[in-house]
Chains A and B, each alone.
Chain A
Amino acid sequence: MKVQLPTPLVDYTGGNRHVTANGATLDAVLRDLERQYTGIRFRMVDEQDNIRPHIRIFVNAELESSLQAALNPADDILIVAALSGG
């Protein structure tokens, strides 16, 4: 499925904001991204499997907060890194 990444993560993908990944759940998709782009998952999910506070993941434009959410191959995933502070 298609995954759109925020600019702070494109260092891991050779500059590509648009990548593809496979998986039946959001967790599986993020692990597939990690398989392809080492280190990228830990930037979005901490060691306790919590999505980091300023990361938002949208599935077909709907906010998804559970890594166990089921996905379909046709789903579009948008990952946003909210920026704040100075």
Chain B
Amino acid sequence: MAGKVSKSGSTIVLVGTRKGLFVLRADGERGNWRVDGKAPHFLGQVVNHAVMNPRSGTMLAAARAGHLGPTVFRSVDSGKTWKEAATPPAFSKHEEGGYGWSVNHVFWLTQGHLSEPKTWYAGISPHGLFRSEDDGVTWQSVDGFNLHPDRMKWLGNANEAVPDGALLHSINVDPHDVNHLMIGMSSGGVFESYDRGATWAPLNRGCVADFLPDPDAEWGHDPHCVQMHPTAKDVVYQQNHCGIYKLDRAANRWNRIGENMPKEIGDIGFPVVLHPYDPKTLWVFPMDGTSVWPRVSVAGKPAVYRSRDAGATWQRQAKGMPAAQAWFTVKRQAMSADQQKKVGLYFGTTSGEVWSSFDEGAQWHCLMLHLPHIYSVEAYSL
């Protein structure tokens, strides 16, 4: 086990949906839950991701106000009041006659290193990386990525972007090195920087990309969700378009641990969630990635799969979930773990259900029904 188990207080779950943000709160044993207010925050706005710094109470929400473009909202009082960022993420104005990029939507938000409590990162569509150093008030381009001369090569054909648009997601800040960043791009692959975003290198060896002609391509892959362990050094897992992987840091190579999943289930999905204290425990939510890629629970029987040995073996965890005719889709940032001693798990579905487990996946409960299409679920123990 790695990390320090010190949580025993309340839990907050931030649920970003196609029609606003829902804030769920529970005390103590997580037996009684309440939802903030009589309506969601930002009713009618798409909330792609909502996150929190549990130490300061600052919350950020990546929103898109219908046709009015992208922005970031911030709260410094744990969600009671919200204010729009003074300078939301935006690319530089192009020079006369040149081509300039525009932010379509802010897709992913990540808190900075523990030593930089006011730093946040934002991944946007089309692929772009931004940083705030004033707790989300103003955002600046990470030019080392956004202006990188090879960026267009990495991104591939914009006409073949994933359905929700070309995405930069899975921004990870190494807990052991404030200058080490790792990101995922759909498509484009996994890239990392050891100088706080000034320079970048691909990290895709060992990863399958069955939609590319070159099986050993350096980039162009489609990571769906990349998660670096919050305390254990050099522990990184990835749910990819083409399987589940664990990074072999010494070899700089991904090993496909999804090969050990039951063959009838496969190893395709969107999210991967890491146990906050045990670097060998992780959860995935497999989906149907066969034929035309329905992207729903396999055979209409939703289940989480857990590994306690870094992907060598997997166990099905579906107790409490519907046994049949439940065609869930769980998106890449719609599954999360809290930090209680007995870890709680949460996932949200595109059909508006929030599911939870307070015993690390042994038993599941439906926490909420009838929400809008869920894009993100993030859980925090205070």
**Measuring CB to CB, which residues of chain A are less than 8 angstroms from any residue of chain B?**
8-9, 38-39, 42-44, 46-50, 52-55, 81-85
- Chain B residues, Cβ within 8 Å of A49: 93
Min Cβ gap A66→B in Å is 16
A-B pairs with beta carbons under 8 Å apart, 8 shown: A39-B71, A43-B65, A46-B103, A47-B91, A53-B67, A55-B68, A81-B68, A85-B66
Cβ < 8 Å to A, chain B residues 81-104: 84, 86, 88, 90-94, 100-103
**Measuring CB to CB, which residues of chain B are less than 8 angstroms from any residue of chain A?**
65-69, 71, 84, 86, 88, 90-94, 100-103
- In this complex, what residue of B is CB-closest to A54? B67
Residue with the greatest number of chain A CB neighbours at <10 A, chosen from B66, B67, B93, B94: B67
- In this complex, what residue of A is CB-closest to B89? A47
- Pick the contact of A8: B68, B88, B100, B103 (CB < 8 A): B68
Closest 3 CB pairs of A and B: A54-B67, A47-B90, A48-B100
- Chain B residues, Cβ within 8 Å of A46: 69, 90, 102-103
**Complex CA–CA separation, A8 to B71 (angstroms):** 14
- Chain A residues, Cβ within 8 Å of B101: 48
**Complex CA–CA separation, A48 to B84 (angstroms):** 21
- Pick the contact of B100: A38, A42, A43, A47 (CB < 8 A): A47
Contact: B103 with A47, CB < 8 Å? yes
Contact: B86 with A52, CB < 8 Å? no
- Pick the contact of A9: B68, B71, B92, B100 (CB < 8 A): B68
- Chain A residues, Cβ within 8 Å of B68: 8-9, 43-44, 52, 54-55, 81
- Chain A residues, Cβ within 8 Å of B90: 42, 46-47
**Complex CA–CA separation, A84 to B84 (angstroms):** 24
Assuming the contacts A39-B84, A42-B88, asked whether A52 and B69 have C-beta atoms less than 8 A apart, the reply is yes
Min Cβ gap B75→A in Å is 16
Assuming the contacts A47-B91, A47-B100, A47-B103, asked whether A81 and B66 have C-beta atoms less than 8 A apart, the reply is yes
Min Cβ gap A15→B in Å is 16
Contact: B67 with A55, CB < 8 Å? yes
Known: A48-B91, A54-B66. 19 other contacts (CB 8 A): A8-B66, A9-B68, A39-B86, A43-B68, A43-B69, A44-B68, A46-B90, A46-B102, A46-B103, A47-B92, A48-B93, A48-B100, A48-B102, A49-B93, A50-B102, A55-B68, A81-B68, A82-B67, A83-B66
**Complex CA–CA separation, A46 to B64 (angstroms):** 13
- Chain B residues, Cβ within 8 Å of A53: 67
Contact: A47 with B66, CB < 8 Å? no
- Chain B residues, Cβ within 8 Å of A82: 67
- In this complex, what residue of A is CB-closest to B67? A54
- Chain A residues, Cβ within 8 Å of B91: 47-48
Contact: A48 with B69, CB < 8 Å? no
**Complex CA–CA separation, A48 to B96 (angstroms):** 10
Residue with the greatest number of chain A CB neighbours at <10 A, chosen from B65, B68, B71, B103: B68
- Pick the contact of B71: A42, A48, A52 (CB < 8 A): A42
Contact: B65 with A48, CB < 8 Å? no
Min Cβ gap A36→B in Å is 15
**Complex CA–CA separation, A48 to B92 (angstroms):** 8
- Chain B residues, Cβ within 8 Å of A38: 86
- Pick the contact of B67: A42, A47, A50, A81 (CB < 8 A): A81
**Complex CA–CA separation, A42 to B87 (angstroms):** 9
Residue with the greatest number of chain B CB neighbours at <10 A, chosen from A43, A81, A82: A43
- In this complex, what residue of B is CB-closest to A9? B68
- Chain B residues, Cβ within 8 Å of A42: 69, 71, 88, 90
- In this complex, what residue of B is CB-closest to A86? B18
Min Cβ gap B312→A in Å is 45
- In this complex, what residue of A is CB-closest to B103? A47
**Complex CA–CA separation, A49 to B91 (angstroms):** 11
- Chain B residues, Cβ within 8 Å of A85: 66
Contact: B94 with A52, CB < 8 Å? no
Min Cβ gap B59→A in Å is 19
**Complex CA–CA separation, A43 to B103 (angstroms):** 12
**Complex CA–CA separation, A53 to B103 (angstroms):** 13
**Complex CA–CA separation, A82 to B88 (angstroms):** 23
